[in-house]
Structure 1
Amino acid sequence: MKRWMRRAVLAMTLLCSAAIAAPGPDETATQIMRHAGDHRLVVLGEYHGTAETPLLVADLMERYSRNTAAVRLALELPMSENVALARYLRSDGGADAREKLRTSPFWVVKDDQHDGRRSRDMLALIEAVRVLRAQGRDVGVAGYDTETGASTSSDQRDAAMATHLRQQFNALPADARMLVLTGNVHAMRTRSADAPPEMQKTMAAYLLDLPLYSVRLEALRGHFWACFQPCRAVPLIERPPRAAKEDTDADRQYDLLIWMPALSVATLTDR
């Protein structure tokens, strides 16, 4: 548990520093908020299994929830995890509560079964949301994915996830915002040319009638965790510094492409 606790402390250190220090002009969260503007459904397309992205999302949750603003975080977790997530948010975050959260069926996987969504860094993100809620912020977190191992095609899964997100978004107060963390393919407004034939539409493409803003989270260097038979750390192509790129073309895949400085592999959840 010690590593999990260190990650949670790190996430909260970020939240505290964000609350007392003015963000730098090139900071990733600042750029996302500036470009997303008043959009109430901000979809973040990530590389799964990194340490930095959960910290970025924790930062965004803290900033967006200031001044009594209502913010909900949607994670690529099965809907069956929502009872455990709600219970944890109501808890004191103690050892018993953490153990109940991380030993639910979704989190208990081993070795090559990890697809990057299960990490102590993600658990620390959930803890960061719990602390914000305990401080009186109007925040919450829920999953929107289908069940692990469900026999569905890529298109069926994306359609189901979009349906779950639509239901959760429609249940929000009129002025609330939702942050959605998902794989970068699900976040595409239009499918890529090399997408599998059965994928007619991506998750985000089913939601374009909503106030959606899609962000692709890239990085200049580093690694992420992915299942390319077998699951392993995958290196990114190293690139020189570059500015965020906004796209307004009708057939765009993302509204914003943003480059984080670096990514590193998250700490996986098996003991």
Structure 2
Amino acid sequence: MAMGAANAAAPAPAEDTAAQIMRHAGNGRMIVLGEYHGTAETPQLVADLVERYSRDNASVRLALELPMSENVALARYLRSNGDLDARQALRRSPFWFVQDDQHDGRRSRDMLDLIEAIRSLRAQGRDVGVAGYDVETGSSTDNEVRDAAMATHLRQQFNALPHGARMLVLTGNVHAMRAPPADAPPEMQQRTMASYLLDLSLYSVRLEALRGHFWACLQPCRALPLIERAPRVAEASSGENRPYDLWVFLPELSVGTLTDL
């Protein structure tokens, strides 16, 4: 018996969040990641996904919830050496200088580190890129109009991908919904960004956590706690009106280092 116990296979290590997403998403070419804005952990997870997906000469493009007008600066940064001057040039636009109660969490040093991670992978020879797809800040107060415009921009970028390339889209968790939940309040019963893109092999992932804090703009913008949960595994869904294809649960989220607060 002792010999049998000694030869028994060791339990498999727990699958990390990136591995869970990759296993469930399979061959999906547009993976939409619905996040809580303003955390430290989500940009790290996305950088990890881009690194893993881009191995073996695979093409990967990262789409961020930044205005389209940032794309010239993003492209310039990817061609730079990533030094302090290049980083300062990247965040020279008004988008990066929102302060106080207007700060919605999309502008953080963690997001800048994510962009740097893409630049570093590209410098190593990986076929990766990053671009924004949002409307200009303040150009529309109608959420449905904004979601439709963001979907149009993403469709254009997706159609321009190299053959077989994969696109990772980081966005707010409402934008990532395939459809609003049946019990959503009336103000949320509208078309979301992801709902316009379901024909593009889209796979929608809700990024949750077991505990921690995130940044939200609820009069005023501030750190808010998550509901604490017991440990759980990823939850896949295939219902016709499902809001997401997959829910994953990071161990914890914390508020990132927001810029110019």
TM-score by length of 1: 0.89
| Contact residue 46 and residue 183 of structure 1 kept, 8 A | yes
1:182 aligns with 2:189: no
In the alignment, which residue of structure 1 is the partner of 2:145? 156
In the alignment, which residue of structure 1 is the partner of 2:252? 262
> What amino acid sits opposite 1:79 in the alignment?
M
In the alignment, which residue of structure 1 is the partner of 2:226? 236
1:162-190 Cα deviation digits (max 9, x unpaired): 00000000000121000000000000000
In the alignment, which residue of structure 1 is the partner of 2:159? 170
> What amino acid sits opposite 2:221 in the alignment?
C
Instruction: Give secondary structure in 1 for the equivalent of 2:50.
Output: helix
- Residue 196 of structure 1 and its aligned partner are, at CA, apart by 4.7
Query: Aligned ranges for residues 38-187 of structure 1 at < 5 Å?
Result: 38-187=27-176
| Contact residue 140 and residue 146 of structure 2 kept, 8 A | no
In structure 2, distance between residues paired with 1:68 and 1:247: 31
> What amino acid sits opposite 1:252 in the alignment?
R
Instruction: Give secondary structure in 2 for the equivalent of 1:106.
Output: helix
| Contact residue 180 and residue 188 of structure 2 kept, 8 A | no
Structure 1 residue runs of 5 or longer lacking an equivalent are: 1-22
In structure 2, distance between residues paired with 1:128 and 1:80: 21
- Provide the aligned C-alpha RMSD in A: 1.4
Q: Decide whether aligned partners of structure 1 residues 149 and 196 sit closer, same or farther in structure 2, where only a CA change above 3 A counts.
A: farther
Instruction: Give secondary structure in 2 for the equivalent of 1:172.
Output: coil
| Paired residue total | 249
> What amino acid sits opposite 1:97 in the alignment?
A
TM-score by length of 2: 0.93
In the alignment, which residue of structure 1 is the partner of 2:17? 28
Instruction: Give secondary structure in 1 for the equivalent of 2:90.
Output: helix
- Residue 255 of structure 1 and its aligned partner are, at CA, apart by 0.3
> What amino acid sits opposite 2:253 in the alignment?
L
| Contact residue 41 and residue 253 of structure 2 kept, 8 A | yes
With 43-52 and 107-116 compared, the bigger mean Cα shift is at: 107-116
Identity of aligned residues (%): 74
With 143-152 and 46-55 compared, the bigger mean Cα shift is at: 143-152
Instruction: Give secondary structure in 2 for the equivalent of 1:131.
Output: helix
